[in-house]
Amino acid sequence: MKKIFALIMAMALVVSLAACGSKPAEETPAAPATKAAAETTNEAAKSDAAPLKIGVSLPNMTNVFFLQIRDGIESALKGDQDEAIIADANGDQNKQLNDVTDMINQGCNVIALSPINSEGVRATLEYCRDAGVPVIAFNVGVAENLKSLVATTIVSDNEVAGHMCAQALAEAMGGKGKVVEITFSTTTTCYQRQKGFEDEIKANYPDIEILQSKDVEKATADYSQPIMVDFINANPVIDGVFCINDPTGRGAIAALKEAGMINDVKVVAVDGSDEGKDFIRAGEMVASAAQQPEVIGQKVTEASYKLIAGEEVAADDIIEMYIIDSTNVDEK
């Protein structure tokens, strides 16, 4: 018995020393998850993610172009619970801010907007930042000093559009004549169009003179028509008109019709909308530099999904443009 007792005590001492003096055993690493298990985990995470709710502020829903952007946004939604909340700012910067505020209060987790004013949109962008909601600028970019407040900017290649319009107008005018411009320089988009147009004329068409340029208060026909009337009254000769979009082109065409000048004055614009195509078919517009509104809308939604998933998006996404004239109007 004494021998057995001594053996038991010796074993207890060994265990005690091991517990006090040795390092704890390292845990064996877990085996890597199988591909199937990883996919199951990813799918579960997706199902737990909040649905996409985009708040979309359009500048003017009387313009078919923006309705096409809206359609592109909605067509790219994936889930049954994903949705786009659409608001019409009606060219009003304050209304745009109020609309965006309301969208965030409704639970929108991404805001997509086409700024009414590239600099004046600051308050709206700061509100979104403070609310922790990412912003996508589309169609119109924000001022350079505000770009840090925007996750991505999705726009057409607007400066190239201006060059295209200048080339089409110059060809229709035989490379010479007098031109007026209906502009909207408070947005980066329209400023770039004007710049491209003027740079092309100055560089390559010395016999074309730009007589006057004037900004519209809003880029619609109601505001461009009286400007065109003023141009007609102030200038005995006008051979061409550059308009920053198809709706302002509509106003210019209406004024030219009233003055009996529609057959003598060549008009170009930007958008390539169905309305612009109708003007081209009717011989009332020479050409329109076409954007791809549905593509812009689809890219807005695609970027929104990336943002709510925490993925990176490109700072700028530039969409190519092309010219529509009488030679291809029925093909586009």
- Clarify whether residues 184 and 168 are in a common domain: yes
- Whichever domain contains 131, its CATH number is 3.40.50.2300
Q: How many domains does the chain have?
A: 2
Is 107 domain-assigned? Answer: yes
What string of pLDDT tens digits covers the 332 residues of the chain? Answer: 434 334 334 444 333 433 333 333 334 343 344 444 444 444 444 445 689 999 999 999 988 899 999 999 999 999 999 999 999 999 999 999 999 999 999 999 999 999 999 999 999 999 999 999 999 999 999 999 999 999 999 999 999 999 999 999 999 999 999 999 999 999 999 999 999 999 999 999 999 999 999 999 999 999 999 999 999 999 999 999 999 999 999 999 999 999 999 999 999 999 999 999 999 999 999 999 999 999 999 999 999 999 999 999 999 999 999 999 999 999 97
- Clarify whether residues 255 and 297 are in a common domain: no
Distance, CA of 83 to CA of 55 (rounded, Å): 9
- Clarify whether residues 181 and 225 are in a common domain: yes
The pTM of the full predicted model, rounded to 2 decimals, is: 0.80
Is 29 domain-assigned? Answer: no
Range of the domain at 97: 51-155+293-320
Is 4 domain-assigned? Answer: no
